[in-house]
Chain A
Amino acid sequence: MEAFTTHTGRAVPLRRSNVDTDQIIPAHWLKKVTRNGFEDGLFEAWRKDPQFVLNQPERQGATVLVAGPDFGTGSSREHAVWALQNYGFKTVLSSRFADIFRGNSLKNGLLTVVVPQDVIERLWKLTESDPAAEITVDLVAREVRAEGLTQSFELDDNARWRLLEGLDDISLTLRHEADIAEYEARRPAHKPRTVEA
């Protein structure tokens, strides 16, 4: 996984709530068997509208997505995270993320940051009036900074450590292989198996 320490970039203000994963990446894109090449599918339906914020010339190269509440609801498709990353986003800010999407994002090094909705509103106003305005997301200090705004955010120490170090979950788990084997040895016999006994 790509490590995340601190990132500064221009923003895309996305004034929508309940941005579900079918909007982030429509199902027909899910037929791909790779983790890359999803950038053109990101918000595909909305991008057909020339007025859509992502289509504005001043938003090209922006890396910080500032979205309304309940971002990433719906399907478990990790393709939603890949699409955002393939497009160039490094971090997403919202007042509330759907659980599976949040888990997927942190496992891929896309930092999802929870800040109160009034902070989102202020960031929307700032970046709408000044598209060149930059937002810094600092995982070391656990802070979001923009002109006239410093907001702390929470992320548990373990998730933060894994992101800062860019650690691979599977390798971490396999350090405890003996615990897994010990658990397997005491598992009840009546538990189901997918193969014939």
Chain B
Amino acid sequence: MLPVGGKAMARTLAEKVWDDHVVRRAEGEPDLLFIDLHLLHEVTSPQAFDGLRLSGRAVRRTDLTIATEDHNTPTLDIDKPIADPVSRTQLETLRKNCAEFGVRLHPLGDVEQGVVHVVGPQLGLTQPGTTVVCGDSHTSTHGAFGALAFGIGTSQVEHVLATQTLPMPKFKTMAVNVDGELPDGVTAKDLILAIIAQIGTGGGQGYVIEYRGSAIEKLSMEARMTVCNMSIEAGARAGMIAPDETTFAYLKGRPHAPQGEEWDAAVEYWKTLRTDDDAVFDHEVHIDASRLAPFVTWGTNPGQGAPLSAVVPDPASFADPSERLAAEKALEYMGLAPNQPLRDIAVDTVFVGSCTNGRIEDLRSAADVLRGRKVAEGLRMLVVPGSVRVALQAVAEGLDKVFTAAGAEWRHAGCSMCLGMNPDQLAPGERSASTSNRNFEGRQGKGGRTHLVSPQVAAATAVLGHLASPADLSDVRTPVEA
């Protein structure tokens, strides 16, 4: 569809995908967008299905809808009934709703079960140029494929179930240009934490971010998903990366990827999904990848981060009064003092997993650090694969043995300690290094304290017992066969 006014203008990637999904455009109204893929899970869907029932509506496109169970699912004893009756009711509600409305569901125990944002891509359902929604803010993950992917609320979940469309207010475009080479040991997670620290938790508000530049083009699909996943932590409505050969290679042969002539037609379309050379972004940010280092958070929002080699900032150093107050409150909650070296911070628990860092590549990199090493005395390390498929792949590669030999716990797939809706939680005052996406107060358990880190930093931290990177470990690997 041509933009309003009918004149073909240079467009960004996000604008192209948006325009291709406009069902209806009218002056003074939000565009009505068609939704290609609707992902459901147990937490944000029950009230939406109730709404459908109350108004006697059906699910318009069950063939574009898929559900899985992830937020509440236990990661131990999954063959036994779920102990928490409220969690059990919520999962049973999803099962009933999916059966009643004819929606495909992958429940706990199914080979395709897992964190919804890991499941969509691995099935090949997340494709370039599609619109993807889910009642979960980390839906931005799917933007790694050049999809326009939004987290939505439950009212919108009901709206999509009933109409397969959403009225969406227009967005602004932001380019985050990342050029140069990421140094050894610096990952996509460090990159996105550094980006959020630079633009702030509200910096992306109203924008769809496109990550571009030579450092982005070199990233694997898993790494691209990590970057796009945390777009929401910068306040952005979505994050995207233009599809390329890396994207096509990842998709080829997946269960729901197009085949034969349809594959050729799809690739031809996907190749048009690039920002035009003369397109203008509303805002641009430039990052030099070669200057980045392992990055960790010290505070209670994802923008409160710093390089691992830095110290805890002094709130007095913040010019903005509300940032100063936020830093003071964060240090109090986190039990940290100004100018304390971040490397000195001892942790009790290490969590590897989540829709941010629960894919096979993340498990491989954590295992590489742990191979032949031991988790520090008294420290608890949980490794939670993002999906059953990821778990099976990890087992096939012997990664589970590396983790258990090091003293870590190898668990079943799910959201787990990322948000502690299941029994995997921090105790009050307990401190974690976590590969998840949010360090909010109490996020991982009431009174728990979270430092967001990459899988490599998580593994090195588990070995040393304090925040650390693999570079800090050079002489502690014991020659143990794993």
Q: Which residues of B contact A192 (CB under 8 A)?
A: 36-37, 64, 124-127, 130, 256-258
- Expressed in whole angstroms, the Cα–Cα distance for A179 and B22 within the complex equals 10
Known contacts: A76-B44, A191-B130, A194-B65. The answer to whether A170 contacts B151 by CB under 8 A is no
Q: How large is the interface on B (under 10, 10 to 19, 20 to 34, 35 or more residues)?
A: 35 or more
Which of these, B65, B202, B237, B325, contacts A15 with CB under 8 Å? B325
Q: Which residues of B449-471 have CB atoms within 8 Å of chain A's CB atoms? A: none
Question: Min CB distance, A32 to chain B, in Å?
Answer: 7
B46 at the interface (CB under 8 A from A): yes
B366 at the interface (CB under 8 A from A): no
Q: Which residues of B contact A27 (CB under 8 A)?
A: 71, 419-421, 443
Question: Min CB distance, A190 to chain B, in Å?
Answer: 4
Question: Min CB distance, A104 to chain B, in Å?
Answer: 4
Complex contact A179–B24 (CB within 8 A): yes
Which of these, A16, A75, A170, A195, contacts B159 with CB under 8 Å? A170
Give the nearest-CB partner of B24 in chain A.
A179
- Expressed in whole angstroms, the Cα–Cα distance for A77 and B155 within the complex equals 10
B365 at the interface (CB under 8 A from A): no
Name the segment of A52-60, A66-74, A131-139, A143-151 touching the other chain. A66-74
Complex contact A100–B47 (CB within 8 A): no
Complex contact A45–B64 (CB within 8 A): no
Complex contact A70–B201 (CB within 8 A): yes
Give the nearest-CB partner of B29 in chain A.
A158
Which of these, A45, A70, A99, A156, contacts B442 with CB under 8 Å? A45
A17-B325, A75-B137, A104-B155 known; 10 other A-B pairs, CB under 8 Å? A22-B438, A23-B441, A27-B420, A76-B139, A77-B43, A169-B155, A176-B32, A188-B265, A190-B263, A195-B104
Q: Which B residues contact A (CB, under 8 angstroms)?
A: 23-24, 28-30, 32, 34, 36-37, 43-44, 46-47, 50, 55, 57, 60, 62-66, 71-72, 84, 86-87, 89-90, 93, 104, 124-127, 130, 135-137, 139, 151-156, 158-159, 162-165, 167, 169, 201-202, 205-206, 232, 235, 237, 256-258, 262-263, 265-266, 269, 300-301, 322-323, 325-326, 329, 419-421, 438, 440-443, 446
Q: Which A residues contact B (CB, under 8 angstroms)?
A: 15-18, 20, 22-23, 26-28, 30-35, 45, 68-70, 73-79, 81, 96, 98-100, 103-104, 107-108, 117, 156-158, 169-170, 172-174, 176-177, 179-180, 183-184, 187-195
